[in-house]
Each structure stands twice: as structure tokens, then as C-alpha cells.
Chains A and B, each alone.
Chain A
């Protein structure tokens, strides 16, 4: 096991609602990245947090927002949910916000928007 935990594991929401997903990073890791993985696709980078600040962002609208806490755990918030937001949301924990360091993934949160 990686030591990265996500909650909840499954979630069903109605279009227009808001959702908060949570991620606890591996001990000693100060960076959390969030990804969206649609069925049959590779993960798409949403954003990364390094030492409580957003360190970079992918091509996602502002209704996708996040936070990182002093203990390096993180939240992903999605407002005004759309049907296309249905996906597996993965968080990855790593040491430093530098590509090339190994990232460990949580088991993901499967979000269904109806």
C-alpha cells in the first residue's frame, strides 16, 4: 500500500451540486497532484499543490479548485457539477513539485454525476 488515502471511495451527485474530495498524502511528501480519469482514458492533470500553494494547473475550468493544508493533505472542490465530470479522481503524493520524482497514487474517488 502507498499510504495515500482518498475519501470517499464512491460518490453520486446531482448535476449542479458541489462536491469535495479529500486526499491524505504519504508521510514525508509535501506535494499533491490531482487527476481526472475518464473511462478508457489516461489521467488528466487538474492541478498540483506544493507547500500549500497551487504550483501548476491543467486545462480545467475555475469551478475546479483545491486546497492544501499544513499537514500536506489536500482537497479538490468541484462546483456546479456537470454530467461530464463523472470520472475517477486520483490524487498523487510526491516529494517536491518536481517531475521525475516518483508519485504514489491513492485508490481514487469514483464520482458519478446524474
Chain B
């Protein structure tokens, strides 16, 4: 079983729709959680950290469920510019290590 698992997609979604991604992780000791966004042939960029109580940043909402060991990302009112690969990232056993999922590809259609 992979340490961090994501549905690879692609998710084909019409503009304006709401889309949700889930990510499961295997290490119950993980303490830090992030969503990164990566455009085609570009570097990853931090979208948002994920906090225990859940957090929102504009159209983006992140949730953490420690009991079931998954995190989620909800995108409301999707825009064409949201098309990208979304990477789920969790901390490992050591405080320096980040473990990355393979990413979920999102395609927003006009």
C-alpha cells in the first residue's frame, strides 16, 4: 500500500461546478498536511495547509479526518484556471520529510 494515495483522475468538470478530492495516508503519526498544485511541466506550489479543524481559503476548503486518515480538498465555483494536478502531501516519521501522493489531475471545461 502506498503511503499517500490519491485518485489519479483525470477529473473532467464543467466550469462553475464543485469538485472534491480525497487523499488517504498510512502513517497515523503524520502531523502536517498540505495540498500543493502543480501545473503541467512546472514546479509544485503550495495551495493550502490543512488544519485539524478544517480551513477555508476563498473557493477552497480543506478537511482532515485523523480517525480515517484522509484529507480532502473541495473547490467551489471552479474556474478554467483551476485546471492542474493537485498533490496531497503529509509529513513522515521524521520532522524533515514530506511524503507526496502522485497527484489528481483536474481539467475544467468551459
Contact = CB atoms under 8 A, between A and B. Distances in A.
**Taking chain B's interface residues, is the majority helix, strand, or loop, or is none over half, making it mixed?**
loop
Contact of A99 (B4, B42, B45, B98): B98
Interface in B80-110: 87, 89, 91-92, 94-103
A104 B36 CA distance: 11
A77 to B, nearest CB: 20
Interface string A87-114: 0001000000111101111111000000
A2 to B, nearest CB: 8
Contacts of B52: none
How large, as a class, is the contact surface on chain B? 20 to 34
B32 interface: yes
Nearest to B89: A42
A18 interface: no
Contacts of A99: 31-32, 91-92, 95-98
Interface of A: 2, 33, 35, 40-45, 48, 50, 55-56, 58, 90, 97-100, 102-108
Given A40-B8, A44-B100, 10 more contacts: A2-B43, A40-B102, A41-B102, A42-B4, A42-B89, A42-B101, A42-B103, A48-B97, A107-B42, A108-B43
A-B complex: 7 closest residue pairs judged by Cβ atoms: A42-B100, A105-B43, A56-B96, A99-B91, A100-B32, A42-B102, A99-B32
